[in-house]
């Protein structure tokens, strides 16, 4: 484990790669396209259409597509909800037997807006423009970059289902896609994992997340050093908050994992989490950091 973590902070002895340009405007269009399907609540037709869109997009760029179907017994309704993780595998210069890293975002949106100031909307599903679609949009634009120029390492882009399904105060029904991945056996398959979530906020400020900092500070260091090197001031090099997210599931099998997230978002879990609260500039800021991170591993 220590050997793996130490390697995260070491640059290759070969010349650094020229990093392709991350297009924030294009990423913003991907965010809007997801929201246009309607709320991507697990098991819904909107979620299925969005998943098909993501699969077609990544396949066209050369990604090898895999799906991970599972069912979740909803203890509140008694129904079995079909959920599907989508995995797009991209080969780097390392070749099929080389190191592989996992970049993840959840494509589902929340089935209820329990924090909405309008009580009549609190049981309605949300658009999830920032909480869900923003992270996916960043991964989609990274796929464009990978298709143009391979990084040294292999990349799996993982679009997770069921991250935001649970009821407030009960974590057992959250992070379902990530939990399923760990059950299927990902231990030893990846060098590290980075979860990207809620990164489209117009007033973006990304702090180090506390669980990430406690358990895998070397991976956090690599990301924040990258942000500092390229001058991305939206990344604040202080610890901000504890966030329960998909990265915690990956941690349970010893996979070095962190989350990149701006959790200070006033429209969280409300009907107001819509594209107008997001910006191309914020997506570009996070996207540039992630691009430089993966191309300099």
- Element at 212 (helix H, strand E): helix 210-215
The pLDDT assigned to 78 comes to 84
Rounded Cα distance, 16 and 292, in Å: 10
Nearest residue to 167 (alpha-carbon basis) of 79, 75, 69, 39: 75
Per-residue model confidence as pLDDT tens digits over 156-201: 999 999 999 999 888 999 999 999 999 999 989 999 999 999 999 9
Residue 2: which pLDDT band, with cuts at 50, 70 and 90?
very low
Is 49 within a domain? yes
Is 222 within a domain? yes
| Residue range(s) defining the domain that contains residue 249 | 2-9+27-295
Is 135 within a domain? yes
Residue 15: which pLDDT band, with cuts at 50, 70 and 90?
low
* Segment 109-119 mean pLDDT: 97
Angle of CA points 123, 127, 132, to nearest 5°: 110
Is 21 within a domain? no
**3-state class (DSSP) for residue 44:** coil
The domain that contains 50 carries what CATH number?
3.40.630.10
- Element at 235 (helix H, strand E): strand 235-241
Rounded to the nearest 10°, the torsion over CA 281, 110, 247, 194 is -30
Rounded Cα distance, 218 and 28, in Å: 30
Crossing angle of the two packed helices 217-230 and 280-295, in degrees rounded to 10: 110
Rounded Cα distance, 124 and 34, in Å: 18
Is 15 within a domain? no
- The yes-or-no verdict on residue 10 having pLDDT over 70 is no
Q: Which residues contact 161 (CB under 8 A, 6 or more apart)?
A: 42, 47, 51, 83, 84, 85, 86, 106, 107, 108, 176, 177
- Element at 16 (helix H, strand E): none
Is 16 within a domain? no
Is 19 within a domain? no
DSSP one-letter code for 201: B
Instruction: Write down the pTM of the prediction.
Output: 0.94
The pLDDT assigned to 17 comes to 76
Rounded Cα distance, 103 and 107, in Å: 13
Number of structural domains the chain divides into: 1
Is 18 within a domain? no
CA distance readout (Å), 248 to 45, 133, 194 = 29, 20, 11
- The yes-or-no verdict on residue 11 having pLDDT over 50 is no
Structure tokens belonging to residue 163: 């991250």
Rounded Cα distance, 208 and 220, in Å: 7
């Amino acid at each position: 484990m220590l050997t793996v973590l130490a390697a995260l902070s070491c640059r290759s002895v070969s010349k650094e790669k020229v990093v392709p340009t991350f297009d924030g405007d294009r990423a913003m269009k991907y965010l809007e396209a997801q929201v246009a399907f309607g709320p991507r609540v697990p098991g819904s037709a909107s979620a299925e259409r969005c998943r098909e869109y993501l699969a077609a997009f990544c396949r066209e760029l050369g990604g090898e597509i895999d799906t991970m179907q599972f069912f979740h017994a909803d203890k509140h309704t008694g129904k079995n909800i079909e959920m599907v993780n989508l995995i797009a595998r991209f080969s780097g210069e390392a070749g099929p037997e080389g190191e592989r890293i996992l970049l993840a975002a959840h494509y589902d949106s929340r089935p209820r807006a329990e924090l909405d100031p309008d009580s009549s909307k609190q049981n309605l599903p949300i658009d999830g423009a920032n909480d869900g679609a923003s992270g996916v949009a960043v991964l989609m634009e990274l796929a464009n970059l990978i298709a143009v120029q391979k990084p040294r390492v292999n990349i799996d882009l993982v679009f997770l289902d069921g991250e935001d399904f649970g009821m407030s105060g009960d974590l057992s029904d959250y992070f379902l896609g990530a939990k399923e991945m760990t059950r299927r056996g990902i231990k030893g398959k990846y060098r590290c994992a980075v979860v990207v979530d809620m990164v489209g906020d117009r007033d973006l400020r990304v702090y180090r997340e506390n669980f990430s900092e406690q358990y895998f500070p070397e991976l956090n260091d690599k990301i924040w050093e990258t942000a500092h090197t390229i001058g991305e001031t939206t990344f604040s090099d202080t610890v901000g908050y504890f966030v329960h997210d998909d990265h915690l599931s990956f941690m349970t099998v010893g996979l070095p994992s962190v989350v990149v997230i701006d959790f200070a978002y006033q429209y969280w879990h409300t009907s107001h989490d819509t594209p107008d609260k997001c910006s191309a500039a914020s997506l570009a800021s996070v996207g540039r950091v992630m691009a430089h991170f993966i191309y300099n591993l």
